[in-house]
Amino acid sequence: MLSNSLIELDRAHWVHPVASYRGHEKAGVRVLRSAKGATVTDATGRQLIDGFAGLWCVNAGYGHDSIVEAAANQMRELPYATGYFGLGSEPAIRLAAALAERAPGDLDHVYFTLGGSDAIDSTVRFIRYYQQARGKPQKDQFISIEQGYHGSSTVGAGLTALPVFHAGFGVPYDWQHKIPSHYTYRNPAGSEPAAVIAASLAALRAKVDALGGPERVAAFYCEPIQGSGGVLVPPPGWIKAMRDLCRELDILFVADEVITGFGRTGPLFACEDEGIIPDLMTTAKGLTAGYVPMGAVLMSSNVYNVIADGAGAATIGHGYTYSAHPVSAAVGLEVLRLYEAGLLDNGRKAGRRLMEGLRSLADHPLVGEVRGRGMLAAVELVIDKARKTPLPAASLPAQRIFDRAWNNGLIIRAFGNGVLGFAPPLCCTEAEIDAIVERTRATLDETLADPDVRAAMA
């Protein structure tokens, strides 16, 4: 059983990420005790299906003994090795080679980080160095997309385009710019793919022109599917069109695959869905399935060679103490083996069942749209389907829906605007996928019965 002393220790000392500090103190912590497969157990003994894979990251599922053994064996043999001074470890070298072999095109060079946020920060530093090395230091403006998420580090939070990550922090910086999201459900251009693509291309061209032309713009960042903005899925052809325009304008294209990578949308990397090759690609989360921290930046041969040739014999001053940590690398190698030994295939099957099941909720009075790809999905709730009116903020949809799902034995992401996010582990069985759908339906029915929701609908 969970002791009150543990709750009080949490209140007194642990500053939780992306939380209302006073709100958390009042509510108290929910302590998770154990997990196996797609099921987690809290300290009271309640079992829940983890429909969000931790934080989009436990792609392989919980409790793989082979992953634990890979970490333990590496800890016994070599628990730490720096990448400084020309040193390294076998797991890091082998993981870099394995990622390069499987990544799109010529993304043959891998820089390891601790997670997604510092992977994004690393791309900014590499891109600035790249533009300096090629004699174009004036290319110093960066563009990302509204409702996009690129971490919450000081630099990354400015590329992120969600207000909560900006308020009170003095970001974005004046060199960080945004264009509107493709968000097809609420796009002013309409929902037709051609119209959405045309609008995004026009917006990027206009933003580049407003910044002084291509000679001023260094890079464009996008997620193949926008995750924390509400699982916003672009229409087919969108990412390829944006990548082609960046190539035309001599702007580096950065694909942020921190969420979408490692089977989340079906293939190992979501960029494979349309056959694009970014100039740089960030990964994390599924890289180690959340078992230990690790991220990576994959860079094209062109970017790497320009930086390397520009530096010559000089040291390139960017590094982290725990970059390419041998334990994390050993875990990454074993997780990659598990993906290819059947988890990717199971994830594709489970993803088809998940999307089919969630689409069966489309006739629910509160469901405005169901969207997703593979094991990454969302259900957007509205109180008026014709007008696409969101749930009233006064009804606290995020907290109520999360609490109700929890009480129904399901963990999901409940966004503040009434969007429900799903990202289950790839190991889910058919029965677990069906349970996710049915527990979601029960949660929606309970929300529909709320007096304030009923009043807003009337």
For residues 171-179, give the mean pLDDT.
98
Could you tell me if 257 and 281 are in contact, meaning their C-beta atoms sit under 8 angstroms apart? yes
Per-residue model confidence as pLDDT tens digits over 270-327: 999 999 999 999 999 999 999 999 999 999 999 999 999 999 999 999 999 999 999 9
| CA-closest candidate to residue 316, choices 154, 80, 84, 81 | 84
Q: Is 366 helix (H, G, I), strand (E, B) or coil?
A: coil
For residues 194-212, give the mean pLDDT.
98
| CA-closest candidate to residue 242, choices 203, 280, 272, 270 | 203
pLDDT at 1 over 60: no
Q: What is the pLDDT of residue 131?
A: 98
For residues 61-66, give the mean pLDDT.
98
Q: Is 369 helix (H, G, I), strand (E, B) or coil?
A: strand
- Considering the entire predicted model, what is its pTM? 0.97
Per-residue model confidence as pLDDT tens digits over 375-396: 999 999 999 999 999 998 888 8
For residues 103-120, give the mean pLDDT.
98
Per the listing, tokens 């029915």 go with 445
Q: What is the pLDDT of residue 12?
A: 95
Task: Calculate ∠ Cα 127-129-131, nearest 5°.
Answer: 70
For residues 426-440, give the mean pLDDT.
98
For residues 200-208, give the mean pLDDT.
98
State the pLDDT confidence band at 446, using cuts at 50, 70 and 90: very high
State the pLDDT confidence band at 192, using cuts at 50, 70 and 90: very high
Residue 232's alpha-carbon distances to 362, 386, 419, in angstroms, are 17, 20, 10
Average of per-residue pLDDT values in the chain:
97
Per-residue model confidence as pLDDT tens digits over 213-270: 999 999 999 999 999 999 999 999 999 999 999 999 999 999 999 999 999 999 999 9
198-204, Cβ contacts within 8 angstroms, sequence gap of 24 or more = 200/238, 200/241, 200/242, 201/241, 201/242, 201/245, 203/179, 204/143, 204/179, 204/242, 204/245, 204/246
Q: What is the pLDDT of residue 145?
A: 98
pLDDT at 2 over 60: no
DSSP string covering 30-76: --EEEEEBTEEEETTS-EEEETTHHHHT-TT-B--HHHHHHHHHHHH
Sheet holding 141-145: strands in order across? 109-113, 295-299, 280-283, 252-256, 217-222, 141-145, 176-179
State the pLDDT confidence band at 203, using cuts at 50, 70 and 90: very high
Q: What is the pLDDT of residue 3?
A: 66
State the pLDDT confidence band at 4, using cuts at 50, 70 and 90: confident
Q: Are strands 410-411 and 141-145 parallel, antiparallel or unpaired?
A: unpaired
Per-residue model confidence as pLDDT tens digits over 335-365: 999 999 999 999 999 999 999 999 999 999 9
Q: Are strands 217-222 and 280-283 parallel, antiparallel or unpaired?
A: unpaired
